[in-house]
Every structure is written in structure tokens, then in C-alpha cells.
Amino acid sequence: MKKSKNLWMYIGGRFISLIGSGIQMIALPLYILDLTGSGILMGVFSILTLVPALITAPFSGIIGDRRNRRNIMIAMDFGRGALILFFGIIAMTGFLNIYILFSLQVFISIMDSLFNSSSAALMPELISKDELIEANSAKGGFDAASMILGPALGGVIYGVWGIQMVFYMNSVSFIISAVFSMFITYNKKVVEKEKINIKMFLNENSEVLKFIVNKKGLFQLFTFAMISNFLLVPMFDIVMPYALKKEVGFASQQYGYIMGFYTVGILLGNIAISVYFKKLGLKKLMRFGLITETIVTIGACALVFPQIVSIYGGATWTLFISISICCITMGFFNAFVNTPISTNLQNLVPDEMRSRFFSIMGMFSQGAVPVGALLFGILLDTMKYYNLLTIINILAVLVAAIFLTRACDEAYEAKE
């Protein structure tokens, strides 16, 4: 695909801003821990990162469908850049405290929601439908690269120069992202509608929900994404860290490397799609990726079972390498699942409601994550981790099997 200037500006700005966000994402919990020594406050910060965005998502979607999406992205980038720069100055003067930091995160979360609703809906308007699969694989690859670079830089920058330099770096990344977006040629005609009120808010979001429910294939993709997030994200964020560190005995640094290998796999998977596997088509790519990822996930979880760990002789480098290989493979084939899903959703949802759709989908799928995390956290205190992993994997296999046998064909009814 000969990528257009618009697409390069979109991907490039996103890549730079995600690096800055990754730097801050890693540094802020470390700063909170250094400042307060409280794990509870770190948890509160995590909630403030997610909840305001979820609450404002339906409103953000309406704004994204009513206004020029590129201009919203530019405004939110400049807004986040200016706000974070201001907090960098406060940190430099020594007046930064936990309450100011929490208020910052609330505003950043809200602006993230406004930006994401427009950003997710804009890309399909910049290219033709035939180019979507390759464009999404390119975006996914750059996103994965930013997830590797940002956190790696975050720990170093915070450790050497402190939290103020973290703020300055993230502020600059948002401003550069805004400049990139300014070079996107996009002249959407804004249709004047009635002012936003409660009745209109309910009607426009109800319209999207009805559209999702009435379009069977879309509803199945929507449901699959939500259930998968509920099961698998908390498994890797809560259960696997517990198993790897507390039960198997790996160090925190080793766990960090293992998760990093998963992101490397996503990067490699998106490169593979763009270079070779795109010719399979969306449905075949999705089937192949989901089956393989599910099998490898079962294998990765089996490696932390006590019987297998004892065969390896405990937390040895051989076990570390085996788990790391599984994580790279899982990430590789996760790209085969997520990229076709994103592409097909963009194909199925009309432009005039795309911002609202992705906002509502994000609200449900991301909202399922803390529910799953809370549930699995409680279960970890009442049952053995390997029994919990067994239950989660059985449910994940059932969900994948149902989707593949009953839903996949209808979910991919859009032209490939």
C-alpha cells in the first residue's frame, strides 16, 4: 500500500504521543509510591485513569460525530500538552502533591476520551476500504513499538531527571502530535444539529445501541471483544503476575521482560500482516489468529503450574525463555485477531455514527476490565491460582469456539 500523507501524519502523531504517554504511565505510579509509599493511592490513581474516560465516553462520541474530528484531535493534543506542561512547572517549583496529581489525571482522562473517540473514527475516512487492513496493521505495529519505547524510557527519565522531566517530555509529545494532525487534509462538512441536551444525548446513543443489536454480525463482534477483555486482560494483569512472582519466584524485572516480549510479538505480528498475511483476508486471518493464540495461551498458563515448574527446576532461565517464547507467539497472533476486528468494525459502522460506536464499545469493553480484575483478585484469595487459570482458559476456549462456529461468518459479512 502506498500510504498517503494523511495516513503517515495520523500514524506518526499517534506514535509520538503514545511514547510520551508511555513515559508518563510508567513514571507516575513510581512517583506516587516514592511520594506516599501507599499502594492504595496507586490503585486510586489507576481508577482515575480509567473511570472519567468511561463516564464521558458517550458524550465524547456525540461530539466526535457532530464536529470536525481532526480539529477535536488537535484541540485535545494542545490541551493535554499545555496542562501537562503546567504541571511540569508546578513539579519543578516543588508544589506538586498527590491531590494536584489526581486532579490532573481526571482532566487528562476526560481529554483522552474526547481524543480517542475522534481518532478511532477518523482513520477510515483518510484511506479507501481496500487499504484498511494494511493501515490497521501499520497502526498496530507503531502502537506496539511505542508501548515498548515509552515504558523503557519512562523508568530511565524518571530515575535520572525526576517527574518534572517526565511531564515536559509528555507535553512536547502531545504538541508534536497536534502539529502532525494539522497537516492532515480533512474537510468534513459539519451538519448543524440541535444543541446537546439530555433527550438528544439519550436518543443519539440509543440509536447506536439499536444499530449494534439489530446488526447481528456487529453485535457478535462487540460481545466477543467485551467478554475477551473481561477474561483475558485481568488474567494477564492480575493472575499471571501473581503466579510468576509469588508462586514461581521470578523477579519483577524478569516479569517486566516477559510482558515486554508480548508487545514485541504484537509488533512482529502486525509487520507480518502488512508484508504477507493480509492476502488471507479478514475472516481467515481472524480464525487462524484466534485458534493459534488460544492454544498458545493455554500452553503459557500450563508452564506456571506447579508440576511443570518442578520439571523445569523452579524459576530457571530455561522456564523464563519458554514463557517468553509463548508470550512473543501470543502477541504475534493477537495481532491477527485485533487487526481484522478493528478493520471489520470500521467497515461495518457508517461514518455518521462511528465516533459514538467506538466510544460506546470502549466503554463496555474497557469497563469489563476492572470488573474482571476485582473478581479475579477476590478469587485469588479463595482458591489456588492454577485452578483459577484453568477456569479462565476453559471459559476462553468456549467463547472462542462459540464465536468461530456460530458467529464468525456473520461477523465478517462485510466485503473484504
Where do the domains of the chain lie?
1-181, 208-416
CATH pick for 208-416 out of 1.10.287.1080, 2.30.110.10, 1.20.1250.20, 3.40.50.300: 1.20.1250.20
Nearest Cα to Cα of residue 24 among 135, 126, 157, 148: 157
Q: Is the pLDDT of residue 1 over 50?
A: no
Rounded to the nearest 10°, the torsion over CA 59, 69, 270, 262 is: -40
Nearest Cα to Cα of residue 333 among 283, 296, 278, 282: 296
pLDDT at position 416, please? 43
pLDDT at position 3, please? 54
Q: Is the pLDDT of residue 39 over 70?
A: no
pTM (predicted TM-score): 0.84
Helices (H), 183-305: 198-214, 216-234, 240-241, 252-275, 282-302
Q: Is the pLDDT of residue 181 over 80?
A: yes
Task: Give the burial class of 55: count Cβ atoms within 10 A of its Cβ; 0-12 exposed, 13-18 middle, 19 or more buried.
Answer: middle
CATH number of 1-181: 1.20.1250.20
318-354, pLDDT tens digit by residue? 999 999 999 999 999 999 998 888 888 888 888 888 8
pLDDT confidence tier of residue 413, bands split at 50, 70 and 90: low
Q: 208-416: same fold as 1-181?
A: yes
